[in-house]
Amino acid sequence: MRAPLLFLLLAASGCILGSTRCAKETTIELLSAPIKLRYGQVHNTWQEPIDLPDDVVKKFENGTMALVDYMIDIVYENGSRVPLYDTYNHHYIFNMGTKKAMNSLYDFMQDAPYGFQTPDGLEGWVKGAKNPSSDDEDAINNRKLLMSPQMMAAMRAKANEAAEQDPDIAMVGGGSGAEERGTPHRLPEGYAYLVDTPEALAPLFHFINTKAPDSLPEEQLKTGEYSPFLQCPCTPQRVLNEENGTVDGWKPFPPFGTCSKQFYELENPSCSLETYKGGFRCCENGNYLLDTDNYNVDEFPEDVVYGKFVLTFLDDDARELGIKETTGIGHDVTGSLETRGNIEFDVPQCENGTLPEDCIYEQSTVMYADGGIDGSTDGKFLIPYTVGHLHVGGIDISLYDDSTGELICRSEAIYGNGTEPANEENYIVGMTPCIFDDPPVFNKNDKFRIVSRYNNTKPHFGVMSLFLSTSHEIDA
């Protein structure tokens, strides 16, 4: 009788099941463990799980939290915000669930220099690809896990399996970074990330220290200038082995061989290890993005920063409220119907004599709506929220229904014009999201067109053009 009684009480008060209109909210703030970096150094790894406050754990013991909004920031120990020209947030991810599952996830992600365990093949990423055969059952499972259509969901499932549990785990972020510091993440009414028995969160931070020490006055950034470290250049210390397809002995993530046919035909340098200049694959945890033969990095001061979480959730149990669960899907302009994409690409400089306003590098592609490469997957889903992910130089990224030409979302880069944190001049400090109170519905095998635009008055390498969406599966 509990659920019908709850429905009657909600209806009598003007509230309806599945609505958050009458639900009270709580916002909490959490700090990560300290992140210590010297000038030019990279932090790109998972931290040990952070316990949620005791009262939150008690509130949702054997219940389900509805996480409806969040914000990630970088702060100093005194709580003041860190400017992006001192520490740059390349991207972050956090998972929330039981303490046992979060510890399992953390353990699973050790010895992962890119924040992910890298597979040894392209099966599940490129259509028709098959991974090398192996008698090692764990290796086979890991390859399938990390190249599966819902990679992060599979990771969470692996964590639950190891923890001998099966609750929902919320995963947030994925490719989000500095450009979403000023971006609203509020999901529309009735939708949330659901977490069963929330006890802890496990975060990954990919931060880069771009603050030159006083001993290097010639490398101090001028107002409006951004560091070349943002693009993760491959320094002479990186060992790129073309024969083995490795960077510093590691299989990179994602493996090379994942660009669309279009980007291969353009001979985009990021598509091949032989021509790779820099980007995510040279941004391993602990690396320096400067030529350490020319510096004594041990003499650099060590800066200490923290990741800050601001999380808003409903006070009532999500299942009792009838809240709809959202999960993440992604679309990549370097992908296609045949590949999930390379994640990154290079932007060539426009030709000499081109007017600055005409220096625009535009690329487009078509992908299946569910982000996969199968095209025969049945089912429908809706998109309550989506936002673009671009790097410095990005103008906008647009998502279209390819069959009708209808614009679903255009996400535009917002650039800062000052020196204060969250308004750093010439840095992307926000992306305009698309939040749908009446979310559009799609078949999983519908086709989306993704169109990305970058300013190319100067060249860029290792940039990204992604759409990061929340989805909710519905009955066909």
Task: Give the pLDDT of residue 374.
Answer: 87
- Could you read off the pLDDT of 321-359 as tens digits, one per residue? 999 999 999 999 999 999 999 999 999 999 999 999 999
For the chain, helix, strand, coil in percent to 5 are: 20, 35, 45
Nearest to 232 by CA among 340, 335, 344, 81: 344
For residue 326, give the 3-state DSSP assignment: coil
Q: Cα(207)–Cα(408) distance, rounded to whole angstroms?
A: 32
- Could you read off the pLDDT of 455-471 as tens digits, one per residue? 999 999 999 999 999 99
Task: Give the pLDDT of residue 157.
Answer: 61
Q: 């299989």: which residue's tokens?
A: 251
What number of CA atoms fall less than 13 Å from residue 200's CA on the CB side?
17
Tens-level pLDDT at each residue, the chain (476 residues): 333 333 333 433 345 455 556 789 999 999 999 999 999 999 999 999 999 999 999 999 999 999 999 999 999 999 999 999 999 999 999 999 999 989 988 988 887 777 776 766 788 889 888 776 555 544 434 433 343 334 555 555 665 565 565 666 777 766 788 888 889 899 999 999 999 999 999 999 999 999 999 999 999 999 999 999 999 999 999 999 999 889 999 888 888 999 999 999 999 999 999 999 999 999 999 999 999 999 999 999 999 999 999 999 999 999 999 999 999 999 999 999 999 999 999 999 999 999 999 999 999 999 999 999 988 888 999 999 999 999 999 999 999 999 999 999 999 999 999 999 999 999 999 999 999 999 999 999 999 999 999 999 999 999 999 999 999 999 86
Task: Give the pLDDT of residue 142.
Answer: 43
Q: Is the pTM of this model over 0.85?
A: yes
| Beta pairing class for 460-463 and 345-347 | antiparallel
Task: Give the pLDDT of residue 74.
Answer: 96
Task: Give the pLDDT of residue 164.
Answer: 60
3-state secondary structure 13-37: CCCCCCCCCCCCEEEEEEECCCEEE
Task: Give the pLDDT of residue 227.
Answer: 95
